[in-house]
Amino acid sequence: QSVLTQPPSASETPGQRVTISCSGSSSNIGRNIVNWYQQLPGTAPKLLIYSNDQRPSGVPDRFSGSKSGTSASLAISGLQSEDEADYYCAAWDDSLNGVVFGGGTKLTVL
Amino acid sequence: QVQLQESGPGLLKPSQTLSLTCTVSGGSISSVDYYWSWIRQPPGKGLEWIGYIYYSGSTYYNPSLKSRVTISIATSKNQFSLKLSSVTAADTAVYYCVREDLENWFDPWGQGTLVTVSS
């Protein structure tokens, strides 16, 4: 059972927009930044969004992040087949004294 | 750009000690701007942060693993290492070495190495 809660799956058709939620608490998302990772099948995770809403260089602006209170969201617009992957949120937890991850959301592009 | 590569045995028996090394290229492990971390992922499951080491040698471990984990650093070799003692089947996972920003995001990641614990 993960400290951060994500829906296990999401799906949408190409070209559409999908949002993945990440729910936490006052000891993690409520106090600290949220980061998102994309894991394509059979590969290592890759940093997708850092510091709640910042994109590393090379990440398309179709990907965006936001945070409000103890929840965060990742939005992907203009969905493409290559976006099919597992997505993880993460944050530092002040109570557990460590980085905690969400359980991951498997995105299917129909 | 910075690249990380894990190395070490892929098969262990229960009660043995897991030992992995991460070799960093394209950048210095002595940078004051980063931690050097280990993360694992059991087959078909999510990610678990194991802990990090700073260039100075200071460490921070996941409390759930702290009693069994040691992370060390060899700045002259641009390497850092993970030891996990008394392994069980529950420790079977892909182990990633990662550079961790001081604000706790992970980038880049090594390709990962599968460690299987089986009798």
Per-residue pLDDT reduced to its tens digit, B71-108: 999 999 999 999 999 999 999 999 999 999 999 999 99
Give the span between the Cα atoms of A28 and A30, in whole angstroms.
5
Helices (H) and strands (E) in chain A — how many of each? 0, 9
Q: B74 to chain A nearest CA, in Å?
A: 24
pLDDT of residue B85: 98
Is there a contact between B103 and A88 if contact means CB atoms under 8 Å apart? no
Average pLDDT taken over every residue of chain B: 97
pLDDT along chain A (110 residues), means of 10: 95 97 98 98 97 97 97 98 98 94 97
DSSP state, residue A41:
T
Is there a contact between A46 and B49 if contact means CB atoms under 8 Å apart? no
Q: Are B113 and B58 in contact (CB under 8 A)?
A: no
Of A35, A51, A98, the CB nearest to B62: A98
Mean pLDDT of B38-67: 96
Q: What is the CA radius of gyration of chain B?
A: 13
Interface of B with A (CB under 8 A): 46-49, 51, 60-63, 96, 101, 103-112
* Helix extents (H) in B11-98: none
- The answer to whether the Cα torsion of B73, B74, B80, B84 is positive or negative is negative
Mean pLDDT of B1-16: 96
pLDDT of residue A1: 82
